[in-house]
Structure 1
């Protein structure tokens, strides 16, 4: 996936939480736009609960979907 597509999801107003599915099967939830920083070829995702972050190459993002809330 390209950076522009991910930025479009981040910049939606009103913001809608979403999840990203990666090529290795991992799923990351983005509940607030502040937890994701998108670069040219990769991004950093922060887990506010644990204060940990992970770097992901954009090429590994297979899909983005609106996060279904219960």
Structure 2
């Protein structure tokens, strides 16, 4: 399955689950809002949260897509 198809599937999930995109250049982009990314024909448009910055990432440079845990980390249960 191509990276674009995987990202599209993750964006279409309800409820949305955050994920991270890793590139062949070693960059990492965390997507916590489905409106922060747009899938273009040959690249991804990623808007950076709380800023006026954005990044274009060629689809060929997407090395991995990892799902992130949603919510707070679990606390250890007391005995």
TM-score (norm 1): 0.88
Structure 1 unaligned residues grouped into runs of 5+: none
Which of 58-67 and 30-39 deviates more? 58-67
Q: CA deviation at 1:6?
A: 1.4
1:65 matched to 2:74? The reply is no
Distance 1:17 1:54 in 2: 18
**More RCO (CA 8 Å, sep 6+):** 1
Greater strand content: 1
1:49 matched to 2:50? The reply is yes
Structure 2 unaligned residues grouped into runs of 5+: 74-79
Distance 1:13 1:51 in 2: 27
**Superposition RMSD on alpha carbons, in Å?**
1.4
Q: Aligned residue pairs: how many?
A: 70
Q: CA deviation at 1:67?
A: 1.9
SS in 2 for 1:40: coil
